[in-house]
């Protein structure tokens, strides 16, 4: 006889949903953070309460996550807030900004808001807007996240990775056309960065722009020569060229 024994989470609250890279399986996946009651179950019938816990970034692909008992949350929040305060007092805006997401994972939205207020009052408007974007994103409001990142871009238009964050939020808010503008800018600010071009490629794909996809792929091959011998990549490029009625340009970087 097989005894099915395990545990599950019930009564979820303070839920954050996002797409991100899972730290357990390394894949991009939907991730969920929430507070819930953990119950041991026998044949899927909940039996034994195992206490309340904060589940952090539960991966929908591999089902693994990090967690903290709810009783340990106040101390963790205090510790994270204290670290943020140390950064703020030292004028290290990026350090403080880096802890905003951590506070959100701990369910401390108010404490995250206080860090952002202090950033703004301290004259770090760019970081404050980025932080507000992060908060909106974790709460699942991609349109608002995009507005906040756009405000950050108005503070500093020369930050390529910030434009990529904005473009990503715009794509998720179904505004690929607006995302394209920022990705083009990001590509001219950081021409050597293949990540920007990969994002540009998926934007052209969403827009159904064949020429944009072909040009970006050829540009990627020029910058990342290994792609010239990547069969999948080459197959995709040939298919796009056929569809667009374009001659595939001979690739000068292909191995002889
Ligand atoms: Zn995973």
Whole-number Å distance, alpha carbon 7 to ligand 1 midpoint, is 18
pLDDT in tens, the chain (256 residues): 666 777 888 889 999 999 899 999 999 999 999 999 998 888 777 777 888 999 999 999 999 999 999 999 999 999 999 999 999 999 999 999 999 999 999 999 999 999 999 999 999 999 999 999 999 999 989 999 999 999 999 999 999 999 999 999 999 999 999 999 999 999 999 999 999 999 999 999 999 999 999 999 999 999 888 998 999 999 999 999 999 998 766 555 555 4
Structure confidence at residue 49 (pLDDT): 81
Whole-number Å distance, alpha carbon 38 to ligand 1 midpoint, is 20
Whole-number Å distance, alpha carbon 28 to ligand 1 midpoint, is 8
Whole-number Å distance, alpha carbon 19 to ligand 1 midpoint, is 11
Structure confidence at residue 50 (pLDDT): 84
Structure confidence at residue 45 (pLDDT): 75
Whole-number Å distance, alpha carbon 97 to ligand 1 midpoint, is 25
Q: Which of 176, 185, 177, 180 is nearest to 154 (CA)?
A: 185
Structure confidence at residue 256 (pLDDT): 44
Whole-number Å distance, alpha carbon 53 to ligand 1 midpoint, is 19
Q: How far apart are CA 149 and CA 18, in angstroms?
A: 17
Neighbours of ion ligand 1 (CB under 5 A): 22, 24-25, 59, 61-62
Structure confidence at residue 40 (pLDDT): 83
Whole-number Å distance, alpha carbon 228 to ligand 1 midpoint, is 30
DSSP 185-251: HHHHHSTT-HHHHHHHHHHHHHHT-HHHHHHHHHHHHHH-GGGGG-HHHHHHHHHHHHHHT-PPPP-
Q: Which two tokens stand for residue 148?
A: 């906040």
Please report, for the chain, the start and end positions of each structural domain, with discontinuous segments joined by +: 5-70
Structure confidence at residue 250 (pLDDT): 56
Q: How far apart are CA 232 and CA 70, in angstroms?
A: 47
Answer for the pair 88, 122: CB distance below 8 angstroms, yes or no. Answer: yes
Structure confidence at residue 185 (pLDDT): 97
């Amino acid at each position: 006889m097989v005894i099915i024994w395990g545990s599950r989470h019930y009564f979820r609250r303070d839920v954050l949903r996002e797409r991100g890279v899972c730290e357990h399986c390394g894949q991009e996946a939907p991730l969920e953070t929430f507070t819930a009651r953990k119950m041991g179950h026998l044949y899927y019938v909940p039996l034994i309460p195992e206490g309340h816990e904060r589940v952090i970034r539960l991966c929908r692909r591999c089902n693994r996550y990090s967690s903290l008992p709810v009783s340990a949350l106040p101390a963790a929040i205090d510790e994270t807030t204290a670290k943020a305060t140390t950064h703020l007092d030292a004028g290290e805006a990026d350090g403080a900004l880096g802890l905003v997401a951590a506070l959100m994972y701990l369910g401390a939205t108010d404490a995250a808001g206080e860090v952002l207020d202090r950033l703004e009052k301290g004259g770090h408007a760019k970081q404050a807007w980025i932080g507000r974007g992060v908060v909106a994103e974790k709460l699942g409001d991609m349109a608002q996240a995009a507005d906040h990142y756009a405000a950050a871009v108005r503070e500093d238009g020369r930050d390529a990775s910030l434009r990529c964050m904005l473009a990503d939020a715009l794509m998720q808010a179904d505004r690929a056309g607006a995302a394209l503008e920022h990705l083009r800018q990001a590509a001219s600010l950081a021409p050597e960065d293949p990540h920007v071009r990969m994002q540009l490629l998926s934007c052209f794909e969403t827009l159904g722009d064949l020429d944009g996809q072909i040009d970006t792929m050829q540009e990627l091959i020029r910058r990342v020569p290994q792609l010239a011998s990547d069969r999948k990549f080459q197959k995709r490029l040939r298919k796009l060229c056929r569809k667009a009625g374009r001659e595939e340009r001979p690739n000068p970087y292909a191995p002889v």
